[in-house]
Chains A and B, each alone.
Chain A
Amino acid sequence: MDVNLRPVKKLRESAAVRSALGPLIEAVCASPADLARLRVVCDWIQYKQNFREPVVGRPVGGTDLEIAVDLRRCADLDLEAGIKHALEDPGGLALEPWVPGRDSCIWRFNALYWQALSEWERATGREYEQSLPGGESDARNTEAAQELILELFRIWDELDARRALPDELYILELGVGNGNQARTWLDEFVQLDRRHGRDYYRRLRYLMGDYSPHVLERARQAVAHHGERVSALVVEATRPSITLGFLAGKAFLVYISNVYDNLPTDEVACIHGRIYQVQTRAFLADDDADLIAGRFGIDRARLVPLIDRLLRIGPELLSESAPAQFPDPGRAVDFWRAVWDALRLQERYLPLEGLDSYQVTAELTGEILRPLIEADGDVRMHVSNGALSSLTGTLPLLHPFGRVQCHDLFLTGSHQYRTGFYGPGKYDGSVVNWVNGPLLQLVASRRGFGVQFTPFRQRPGSNITTLTAQARD
């Protein structure tokens, strides 16, 4: 039996965590499980809203079993009952078949959150920025904007001296939030350009790209005073070239803030030298399903199709199409929130027969994972498919002297997966996952870009890390 204790820092810090371990092992040993085929994995799940029960079972390739324990919630738990429950069929109401993580319906919930953000905010009474750690986006910072702009001026001056400066100077922001970043950046640009005296503002084209028309519209209002310098485009972050193909080789800066952590991802695991894909299945526990059905006067058997309809048409149209259950959109949002709160993920490990048969993105096979998996041995990690797809679609947009700057929750070393939990969790109505930084670094490197990670200097202590990608050689 393997016992894998990941939250090593908590082990040192918390007597409660340490004292949970003895009873946990006792409970496992008292269970009928085949201990020779059992592994126990202990995490500390920092997200109060997440997709897991404190103790869950995960089949490994059909023969073995993993019991996953959230040490944060073990203190008052009947561990013996928890282990017993983890060994049984968890039952519940499945919302989907077993799928790779990126295909889970949790991403449909996530998409709905951004599409119907105004309805969600109306129901909760707070704007989404307030649900971010710290209560605001890390993007709004004049000092950071000034640094970037002055660096751009330096590059543009050099290119101009060689008669190689294009007429139009493109800046792209992906994931625009409420437009504060764009406004701060553009306002600073105007000031600095005036001082610099080269009239770059006249040639500036600031493109705002976002998945959500609602978010875009709000951002556009924030920068309305910059008029025709700014364009707003609906952009699918994982496939930027569809909308932005015209920008290939032209962007001097692509600015991305808090987008990658919110894009679909698979997970893979190497267990005893064998590589598995983590498959998931979203479900509602029986008690939760009954509670929601009762609260909204819905037959339990109709819950799954109704949730599917909510995800397809959103709360407003759901209210119109089922007025008996949802007399107004607010009631439909209540239903949405209740389901989201109760949503859990079952997991299992399915052997990957060949890395090259696993399509990470449209362009990348699982072979790209090999160096990390071989270097790190037994490890479970995010594939960050959405972030990879986004980054590899973004890099070709860069001018040879352009750069991507991205603020997000990045792991900066694969070893971190051994010592912590990095998602998925829930932020308000959205999904959050840390992003596999070393994998992004590797993929960018294979495309000729150097990637650096630095702490987000403008807010010390933040979990946010800055990724900068620029052409090397």
Chain B
Amino acid sequence: MLLPTTVVGSYSVPEWLERLKTEYYQRRISAQHLAEIHEVAIKAAIKDQELAGIDIVSDGELRRDNDVDYFLARIPGVHIPQRAKTDYFDYYDAEVTRPLPELADSPETSLGLAADFSFTRRLTQRPVKFSFTGPFSLSRRIRDGAYGQPGDLVRALARRLNAEARELAEAGADFLQIDEPFLAGYPEQVELAVEAVNMVIDGVAATWALHVCYGNRYARPSWEGHYDFLFPAVKAARVDQIVLEFARKGLDDLRLIRQHGWDRWLGLGVINVKTPEVEPAELIASRIRRALEYVPAEHLMINPDCGLRHLSPEVARQKLRAMVVGVTTVRAELTGGDKP
């Protein structure tokens, strides 16, 4: 299929779910009840994506409080002194006081991502993308009191995530994405991040994507700048696809794809997730047409700029629908088929 559509990962977190998640931290509902609520919300998120016409769906990352804590709370050796939160979306304060135990020392401690994937896999016939936060970004939320070199913490996290990726592949995950939402804030460390990405990927047979954006915490960019910093370092990443934001920032950075000879897939961000305004399908189509000047259609996947978590459910549905209509228009132009 030309121009397959997908999401970056997270899906709209309704206000009621935010409140319930916070109530869990205030001991008003049990972990078991919250888990059941999450499962219901994930089913709804998948259904929403299917109804919108998304080709490759995700679980919406609805179990995760934010892009970091779900992982840090489960990684052996990461110490979180205070697990109570005022608001579910707050980050934990996490620290390591001694080197993380290597896998050989704690082989039974899975992070549970494979189980999350399997749950999703059972709910849909469509291909599933499964995303998780990469070692570089995770390391930025850990106070490092154990490693002499900051890169060593990143590598230790990468080894742990590699084990998780292997479990995911064994469970049938064939499209995996590493998210590095903090990388744009530390452009001088892109080589380290790429090295760690390769450690995560190592030996895992799957299609791999790498998502780098300028942050989406509270629907705001955490940094500004250009994707120049990614190149040429990112070419050393053994990923099949990079997933970048263009809708909010404009399409100027597409020049980097040609300039640096990126000949793999591009996940093209065509939906601005930081505004509730729904882009017209024609605008989305025009963004895709512009990208086709730089990337062959056979290497273009279409997605929002980033996760949809900060949009209301109705806006998220409308945006995805507009994206699908925009893609269908361009597909028809490319293949001579019917326009929507």
A166: Cβ under 8 A from any B Cβ: yes
Q: In angstroms, how far is the closest chain A Cβ from the Cβ of B294?
A: 22
Check if B91 sits within 8 Å of A473, measured CB to CB.
yes
Check if B223 sits within 8 Å of A164, measured CB to CB.
yes
Check if B224 sits within 8 Å of A249, measured CB to CB.
yes
B333: Cβ under 8 A from any A Cβ: no
Q: In angstroms, how far is the closest chain B Cβ from the Cβ of A182?
A: 26
Q: In angstroms, how far is the closest chain A Cβ from the Cβ of B113?
A: 23
Check if A471 sits within 8 Å of B220, measured CB to CB.
yes
Give CA–CA (A448, B215) in the complex, Å.
12
A162 interface neighbour in B86, B91, B218, B225, Cβ under 8 Å: B225
Check if A448 sits within 8 Å of B221, measured CB to CB.
no
A400: Cβ under 8 A from any B Cβ: yes
**A367-B15, A473-B91 are contacts. A163–B221 as well, Cβ < 8 Å?**
no
Residue of A nearest to B185 (CB): A400
Check if B222 sits within 8 Å of A471, measured CB to CB.
yes
A448 interface neighbour in B19, B86, B218, B223, Cβ under 8 Å: B218
Check if B224 sits within 8 Å of A447, measured CB to CB.
no
Give CA–CA (A163, B227) in the complex, Å.
12
**A162-B187, A162-B225, A164-B225 are contacts. A400–B91 as well, Cβ < 8 Å?**
no
Give CA–CA (A184, B91) in the complex, Å.
40
B87: Cβ under 8 A from any A Cβ: yes
Tally chain B residues at the interface, Cβ within 8 Å: 17
B224 interface neighbour in A166, A445, A446, A473, Cβ under 8 Å: A166
B264: Cβ under 8 A from any A Cβ: no
**A164-B223, A400-B220 are contacts. A367–B19 as well, Cβ < 8 Å?**
yes
B43: Cβ under 8 A from any A Cβ: no
B238: Cβ under 8 A from any A Cβ: no
Q: In angstroms, how far is the closest chain A Cβ from the Cβ of B139?
A: 15
Q: In angstroms, how far is the closest chain A Cβ from the Cβ of B59?
A: 24
B217: Cβ under 8 A from any A Cβ: yes
Check if B91 sits within 8 Å of A396, measured CB to CB.
no
Chain B residue numbers with a CB within 8 Å of A249 are 220-221, 224
Check if B217 sits within 8 Å of A448, measured CB to CB.
yes
Check if A396 sits within 8 Å of B225, measured CB to CB.
no
Give CA–CA (A399, B215) in the complex, Å.
13
Interface of chain B, helix or strand or loop or mixed? loop
Chain A, residues 349-367, CB within 8 Å of chain B (1/0): the string is: 0000000000000000001
Q: In angstroms, how far is the closest chain B Cβ from the Cβ of A248?
A: 9
Q: In angstroms, how far is the closest chain B Cβ from the Cβ of A10?
A: 34
A445 interface neighbour in B87, B215, B221, B223, Cβ under 8 Å: B87
Residues 88 to 125 of chain B near chain A (Cβ within 8 Å): 89, 91
Question: Which has the most chain A C-beta neighbours within 10 Å: B19, B220, B223, B228?
Answer: B220
Chain B residue numbers with a CB within 8 Å of A473 are 91, 217, 222
Chain B residue numbers with a CB within 8 Å of A396 are 220
Give CA–CA (A170, B87) in the complex, Å.
32
Chain B residue numbers with a CB within 8 Å of A163 are 225, 228
Residues 61 to 90 of chain B near chain A (Cβ within 8 Å): 86-87, 89
Residues 309 to 337 of chain B near chain A (Cβ within 8 Å): none
Give CA–CA (A371, B25) in the complex, Å.
13
Chain B residue numbers with a CB within 8 Å of A471 are 220, 222
Residue of A nearest to B215 (CB): A400
Q: In angstroms, how far is the closest chain A Cβ from the Cβ of B65?
A: 13
Chain B residue numbers with a CB within 8 Å of A164 are 223-225
Q: In angstroms, how far is the closest chain B Cβ from the Cβ of A251?
A: 13
Residue of B nearest to A363 (CB): B276
Give CA–CA (A400, B184) in the complex, Å.
12
Give CA–CA (A162, B15) in the complex, Å.
37
Check if A400 sits within 8 Å of B217, measured CB to CB.
no
A399 interface neighbour in B217, B224, B228, Cβ under 8 Å: B224
Residues 209 to 233 of chain B near chain A (Cβ within 8 Å): 215, 217-218, 220-225, 228
Q: In angstroms, how far is the closest chain A Cβ from the Cβ of B68?
A: 9
Residues 1 to 16 of chain B near chain A (Cβ within 8 Å): 15
Give CA–CA (A163, B220) in the complex, Å.
20
Question: Which has the most chain B C-beta neighbours within 10 Å: A163, A446, A473?
Answer: A473
Residue of A nearest to B141 (CB): A473
Residue of B nearest to A163 (CB): B225
A400 interface neighbour in B89, B187, B221, Cβ under 8 Å: B221
**A162-B187, A367-B15, A447-B218 are contacts. A400–B87 as well, Cβ < 8 Å?**
no
Chain B residue numbers with a CB within 8 Å of A166 are 224
Give CA–CA (A249, B272) in the complex, Å.
14
Give CA–CA (A447, B217) in the complex, Å.
9
Give CA–CA (A26, B225) in the complex, Å.
71
Give CA–CA (A396, B225) in the complex, Å.
18
Check if B15 sits within 8 Å of A400, measured CB to CB.
no
Chain B residue numbers with a CB within 8 Å of A445 are 86-87
Chain A residue numbers with a CB within 8 Å of B89 are 446
Give CA–CA (A301, B86) in the complex, Å.
55
Residue of A nearest to B222 (CB): A400
Residue of B nearest to A449 (CB): B218
Give CA–CA (A162, B87) in the complex, Å.
33
Chain A residue numbers with a CB within 8 Å of B15 are 367
Q: In angstroms, how far is the closest chain B Cβ from the Cβ of A315?
A: 42
Chain A residue numbers with a CB within 8 Å of B86 are 371, 445
**A163-B225, A164-B225, A367-B15 are contacts. A448–B220 as well, Cβ < 8 Å?**
yes
Q: In angstroms, how far is the closest chain A Cβ from the Cβ of B95?
A: 16
Chain A residue numbers with a CB within 8 Å of B221 are 249, 400
Give CA–CA (A445, B187) in the complex, Å.
27
Q: In angstroms, how far is the closest chain B Cβ from the Cβ of A157?
A: 16
Q: In angstroms, how far is the closest chain B Cβ from the Cβ of A254?
A: 15
Give CA–CA (A221, B87) in the complex, Å.
47
Give CA–CA (A445, B217) in the complex, Å.
12
Chain B residue numbers with a CB within 8 Å of A399 are 224
Among all A-B residue pairs, the 5 with the closest Cβ atoms: A448-B218, A164-B225, A447-B218, A448-B217, A400-B222
Q: List 27 A-B contacts (CB under 8 A).
A: A162-B225, A163-B225, A164-B223, A164-B224, A249-B220, A249-B221, A367-B15, A367-B19, A371-B86, A396-B220, A399-B224, A400-B215, A400-B220, A400-B221, A400-B224, A445-B86, A445-B87, A446-B87, A446-B89, A446-B218, A447-B220, A448-B217, A448-B220, A471-B220, A471-B222, A473-B91, A473-B222
Q: 17 other contacts beyond A163-B228, A400-B221, A445-B86, with CB at 8 A cut-off? A: A162-B225, A163-B225, A164-B223, A166-B224, A249-B220, A249-B224, A367-B15, A371-B86, A396-B220, A400-B215, A400-B220, A446-B89, A446-B218, A447-B220, A471-B220, A471-B222, A473-B91
